[in-house]
Structure 1
Amino acid sequence: MILKSGGVAAAIAVAIVAASSHATLAQDAAGSTCGTDRTIDIAEMTWPSAAALAHIHARILEAGYGCKVEVVTGDTVPTSTSMLTRGTPAVAPELWTSAIQEQWEAGLKDGEVVELADAITDGTVEGWFIPRYTQEAHPELTSAEAVIAHPEVFPDPEDSSKGRLYSCPPGWACELSTSALYEAFDMQDKWNLFSPGSGGALDASIARAFTRSEPILFYYWGPTAILGKYDAVQLDLGEAKPEVYACNTDPDCADPAGVTAYPSSPAVVGAAAWIKEEAPNVADYFSKVGLSNAQISKLLVYGDENKADAAATAENFLKTEQDVWTKWVPADVADKVKATLG
């Protein structure tokens, strides 16, 4: 059969499109595979947000990329130490590096570990809070100093002549920092510093105040279910001064307490260097998984309200936030993960 020139051009165009389509499919397929036969062990840290993230990523890597995955128990210091010295666990999805800064920076420099993304895109939150409804009733209460000047707005239920500041449970680092600020602001004459017996007691006090629409001044941090559930406003504590903060959290520091905002601690997706070398698709996936404080706090609200464990909280996120996580992965990976959801 003889083809006219137009027919030849059309045939060539079809062939080019077909070849391009096959190449694209091949690239997509290559980008949707795990790339390594090694087990990718993911650290499940002891706090709720990091635990939920570990299960979210484990599910996506296993169901979507076909990786062999194991979720292992972890915590900041032992996990980072093991990752630096042994290359395992492979990934820590929410690693707060401020507590291990010197060792971690040395590991980055020596090529033992990598940071694949910011786990919390807008930084961690730590400070003093009041309910938004309280601030709306008293618009001048935007800073710690302004609040301190009005103890009558936050009366202590056991001593109405003074205000009450809810601190941290005994033994927590934030108990030291809050006590130091209490002293630095010279609050003793007009305020009582209340120490709850546990994290659960602090949460219960906050929940009770919000449920009753009562004023409350409290220390808290994020991302957390409390800040996801309740509309709280963070007070301005001024400039963050790392040296002052370091002293305020050191019981052996001889210097007097000083006023400082809480520095935002970096929280990263930390990984053993071999992940980037042997499983570039996995490394590319983790480079896209950062979530904001608000997004993480929102996912934690489900776990808190339903008494759900980390795995159940992760599954709920995968079911209800598909517009978020499907942007992290190729379409065929997303379809494989969706097929595993109940």
Structure 2
Amino acid sequence: MAGQTPWTDTRLRAAWARGDWGAVLREYRRAAGLSQRQLEPLVGMPQPHISAIESGRRRVLTPEVKARITEGLAVPSDLTTAQPTGWAPPPELRERVAHAYATGRADARTAAYLRDVLAQHRRAEDEGSGAPLWHVVRSQLDAVTRLLPDTAGPAADELLLLAAEHAHWLSWVAWSQNHRGEALAWLDTAHGWAIDGGHTDMASWVMRVRSHFFLTSGDPVRALRTAEAARQSIDLSPGARSAATHQTAQAAAAVGERDRARRLADEALDLALQVPDESDRPGWLYFLDETRARLQHAATAYACRDWATAAGELRAALPALEGYPRDHAYYAQRLADAERRA
């Protein structure tokens, strides 16, 4: 499973989560680089039937045809289990983690595959809503936690980190869908798993996200308190400390501590520039390249009402975001506002 497979593709997995069989066939062909004719032997149906399903002229209704497609396209097991319901973390996940240090060895290939898929989901969420992938990632988290009772030592620690990364992603999407209490519950779960596995970078990052949630919901005092806790975590990598320090700068600006915010913003930028290569940062900080670091510095200038500084820094960095329409639109709006106020 660790090799290249069409099922790492986010659009394909989202189509499966929707139960859209026409899109499943279409997106599988796109991801695998196959024609409808080439798909025939996999799903056991002629090209005209495949075309009719993809176009919506024919529906997939019988269990036999669904099973044929599922087996022929080698749908991974994390997607074929029953889809989880609800937005909050269920007790069975914690029960599995409670037995994480039994003797045995996990399927490392499955864990590696799920880590690769989660990385794809992070990048997909950058370009739009993660909501269509909610059930997919929840199923993946089930698959990760099912590995834990058969795992011990360092392998279990790595699985706990992978579980925490999934829980963090779920919190982000839950918050974006206005499931605020459930989002905080997922963050609590992610933080506990990160601590249990000895992953200080992830534990700090989760607190940083919690601070962001508080700041965007109008509670800057709590945001600052939480960001400071994230920043004070011991043994942080430069990238993780940069993220926590930037969030502290944002919260400090929001409570009126502008001089402190400016100093923290400079520190966050310096830390980010120490790790320019993605491989030198934790996986969830893949985005924190020099461009993003300078945009974050500009964001603090904006929060401090240093309009001319913010406008100049945003103007210089914004062209590099052309491939990220949502973020480009956000910073472009900030640039226009800063230029108007300068």
What TM-score does the superposition give when structure 1 sets the normalisation length?
0.21
The structure, 1 or 2, with the larger RCO (C-alpha pairs under 8 Å, 6+ apart) is 1
Q: Which has the higher strand share?
A: 1
Q: Which has the higher helix share?
A: 2
